[in-house]
Amino acid sequence: MKALFNPFRYIAGTKALVMGYLFIVASALMLYSGNLIQDSYIHIGIAKATFLEVLGAQTIWWVVPALLLYLCGLLLSKSKIRIIDILGTTAFAQIIVLMMIAPMLLPVVMNNMLESVAALQSGAILEPASLIPMMIYSIWSLICLVLFYIWNYNAFAVSCNVSGWKAIAAFIAVQVAVTIVGTVI
């Protein structure tokens, strides 16, 4: 149970970084195959992009928050922290993004989503029953999102040996800053 919420007690550093980057590449491949792109920190949009652009976006939305958390760690931690640990643990946490993306590519979910978007744009009213696949996916992605934040916080806490309200405040500040910047650009 501990490992479910905090796998970084057991894995960090280079091993986590290699595995994590493989998750990022796998996510990028999935997004690319579905003509999708991670266009902000926690948002996926439809776009015709090359695989390298999709991978680049995935990498940026992992590296930038990780570096900001590392800077917070340098300011808050009394321990000698290593950048490889924060990069490794946050990269490993990207498996949650993969878990979020994978069901999205199921034809039943994808078609339902496209139908809903088209209906919204045309002003048509859809039967609630026809939205069931999208509703199930929404619940799944909400669970993944909560887990994503828990894993990222634990990645920060373990890698930088920080805890308490200062760590929570720094983590929230980084998440809010990255989300706002992601939405603006």
Using CA atoms, how far apart are residues 131 and 93, in angstroms rounded to an integer? 30
- Interface pick for another protein out of 17, 49, 85, 90 (rule CB under 8 A): 85
- The nearer residue to another protein, 12 or 57, going by C-beta atoms, is 12
Q: Is residue 71 within the footprint of another protein (CB under 8 A)?
A: no
Note whether 76 and 160 are within 8 A (CB): yes
Give the range of 2-10, 17-25, 111-119, 120-128 binding another protein by CB under 8 A: 2-10
Q: Is residue 150 within the footprint of another protein (CB under 8 A)?
A: no
Using CA atoms, how far apart are residues 128 and 123, in angstroms rounded to an integer? 15
Q: Tell me the CA distances in angstroms from 48 to 23, 35, 53, 117, one per residue in order.
A: 21, 6, 10, 17
Give the range of 3-11, 46-54, 55-63, 94-102 binding another protein by CB under 8 A: 3-11
Note whether 109 and 30 are within 8 A (CB): no
- Interface pick for another protein out of 33, 79, 111, 138 (rule CB under 8 A): 79
Q: Is residue 19 within the footprint of another protein (CB under 8 A)?
A: no
Neighbours of 125 (CB within 10 A): 7
* Interface with another protein in residues 51-70 (CB under 8 A): none
* Helical pair 51-76 and 83-92, crossing angle rounded to 10 deg: 130
- Interface pick for another protein out of 53, 161, 177, 179 (rule CB under 8 A): 161
Residues in contact with another protein by the rule CB under 8 A: 8-13, 16, 78-82, 85, 89, 158-159, 161
